């Protein structure tokens, strides 16, 4: 299985990658419109789409940490 396919199987990672795609689209619109607003909107959306990944990773590391403390 390819790395990209493995990454896109996780919903949180898909949202994270969508956020980065939005930043690229926002940068393109920023260039076309000569306005900072598209980039600001894309960056805000990117941060909001990153939240599920951060939540998933923090819960994963919390489980690992609690398993280590039991030993």
Pull the structure tokens for residue 17.
């990658």
Q: What is the DSSP string of the chain?
A: --HHHHHHTSHHHHHHHHHHHHHHHHHHHHHHHT-SHHHHHHHHHHHHHHHHHHHHHHHHHHHHHHHHHH-
pLDDT value at position 66?
A: 75
% pLDDT > 90, the chain: 48
Angle at 10 between CA 56 and CA 18, to 5 degrees: 95
Averaged pLDDT, 36-61: 91
Mean pLDDT of the chain: 87
Is 45 or 3 the better-scoring residue by pLDDT?
45
Q: Assess whether pLDDT exceeds 70 at residue 58.
A: yes
Please say if the pLDDT value at position 15 is more than 70: yes
């Amino acid at each position: 299985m390819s790395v990209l396919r493995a990454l896109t199987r996780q919903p949180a990672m898909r949202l994270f990658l969508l956020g980065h795609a939005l930043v690229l689209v926002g940068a393109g619109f920023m260039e076309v419109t000569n306005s900072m607003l598209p980039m600001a909107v894309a960056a805000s959306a990117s941060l909001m789409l990153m939240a599920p990944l951060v939540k998933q990773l923090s819960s994963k590391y919390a489980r690992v940490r609690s398993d280590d403390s039991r030993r």
